[in-house]
Every structure is written in C-alpha cells, then in structure tokens.
Chains A and B, each alone.
Chain A
C-alpha cells in the first residue's frame, strides 16, 4: 500500500475526475491482489503496479469513451482559491487541460500522465512501459507541445 497515493494520482491523470480516480485505484489494487502470482520479482513490484494502473486506466477509458459529458472536477478546491471568480477560472482551465490530455494519442498520454501526475522519473517510466528512456523523453516533449498547442487553440477560439 506504499504507492496508493501515487496510483491514485496517476488514475486522476487518466480519468476525468477524482471520484473516477478513486474507483480506479480500488480496481488497480484488486487486480494486483488477483494477479499477485504473476509478480516475478518483489523489487520490481513498483513497476508492476504502475503497469497495472496504466492498463486499468486505459481499459476504463475504452469502456467510457462514449460518456464524454461526465463532470470534470478535482474533488476538492485548492486552498488558495478564495474567490468564486478564481474558482471559476480554475475550473475552466482545468476543463481545458483535461480535454487536451484526453485528446493526446495513447502513447503520448501515458508518458505525460506518468510523468506529470505520478511524478515518475524518465527511468521509472521506461521501466514501467518497457520502452527506451530516450523515446520516453521525446514522447514527453511532444505531449507537452501538443497540450500547449491545444490549449492555445481553445483560447484563440474563445477570443
């Protein structure tokens, strides 16, 4: 249970709100419990768990692809948002960010979420996804550019 908060945050990155992320975290641990026999080395349990997290989240997205209208909410408001106006701006920006992440291609999205939400190092991501570290770095760069472009595009559309 050492990594459950990290798992929760990765799930948050893949899902649209904190409630879904909590359900997904439960699912991840249940899957881990069921498949504990497939864990070959205890020292690799961290990566094994992150891999289960990634697979569970991608499965969840496949199942809920049609449900695009589900609410985007972090679950709790950050402490520094004191005025209703700042809360509204935050919610709007968060919605844009979430949509941008959801629209990334799968291989870019998984790298981005593991890095930004799970705070995993490039090496840890490479170990989890069984991909070279260089590839992870380049995918992460492309994911950031795509998100910035997407968010800028939305801003321009509004103007």
Chain B
C-alpha cells in the first residue's frame, strides 16, 4: 500500500515537473511587448469599425438600419399575404358590389327606370340600406360568395319593380304582393 502511494507520489511529481518545464518553455517564447502591441492594434481596428467616420457605416447604425428594413419588409409582407377575416369579408363585399353596380348599369342600359335614391331616417340612402340588409342576411344565412351577385341583382330588380308599382298606384303594389315578389 505504502509502496503504491510512493509510486503515485513519484508519478505526480514527474508530471508536475513536466508541466512546470512546459510553462517555463512557453513563457520564454511569450513576448509581452508583441502581445500588447498586437492587442492594442486589434482593439483599435475594432473600435474603428464601431465608430466609423461615415455615420452610415457604423456598426450600431448599420444594425439598426437592417432591423428597421426587416420590420418594414415584414409589415409589407403581412399586408400582402396575411388577411384578417374582416379584410377578407371587406374584399368579398367590394368585389360583389362592383358586380352589382355593373348589373345596375345594365338595367339602366335596358331602359328600366333607375331607382331614385331616397333618404332614410338616419340620412342614409334607401339603396344603401337595402344593400346592407342583403349583406347582413348573407352573413346570417352563410350563403356562399357565388350567390351574392345574384342576390344583389335580385334586390335591385325588386326595388325597381316596387318603384314602378308605387308609380302605378296602390293597386299595382297589391298585385306584386300577391305574386310573391316581396
């Protein structure tokens, strides 16, 4: 046991000695002046890039610029590719209304008398009210988009007929009601 311990101590001493020699050898080749001058040169280089005379070439400014650019690009991409349900509805309505107004123009072209806009209680045109009613019904009934132009066209035709029957007198209105248009 004691012999073993002595052996271990001797081995420890050997590698201790070896490490000591390695350190001495390395310190001989270590040039303190070289180290200092090289380090200060590298620090100078680094601080130059940090504080470049040209404002836009300074690292923090460049980093901030890149971040800003990425944010703007991200925002633009979000506007293009990500649409909220509300935006989708708004686009669908916009598209539908464009078609409806085409149909309205068509009716005018076929010499069907145009519906005169009438102001409602809140100063809103009757035509607008009827459009809104149709939109709310579509939302309530969950009617697919393809039906929307037809429904709007039907609403406009109905409105035109009502107008016509009103012009012809109360008896005309009764006939329309009997025919089930309303």
Contact = CB atoms under 8 A, between A and B. Distances in A.
A78 B25 contact: yes
B36 to A, nearest CB: 7
Contacts of A88: none
Contact of A4 (B11, B15, B35): B35
The 5 closest A-B pairs by CB, nearest first: A75-B29, A76-B28, A74-B25, A76-B29, A18-B26
A26 B38 contact: yes
Q: Taking chain A's interface residues, is the majority helix, strand, or loop, or is none over half, making it mixed? A: helix
Interface residues of B, number: 25
B11 A18 contact: no
B84 to A, nearest CB: 42
A30 B19 contact: no
B46 interface: yes
Contact of B43 (A21, A22, A25, A30): A30
A116 interface: yes
Interface size class of A (residues with CB under 8 A): 20 to 34
B51 to A, nearest CB: 14
Contact of B19 (A34, A116, A148): A116
A8 B18 CA distance: 17
B21 A78 contact: yes
B26 A93 contact: no
Contact of B23 (A9, A26, A144, A151): A9
A145 B48 CA distance: 49
Given A75-B25, A116-B19, 18 more contacts: A5-B30, A5-B32, A9-B26, A29-B39, A30-B39, A74-B21, A74-B22, A74-B26, A75-B26, A75-B28, A76-B24, A76-B28, A78-B24, A90-B21, A148-B11, A148-B15, A151-B15, A152-B11
A18 B15 CA distance: 18
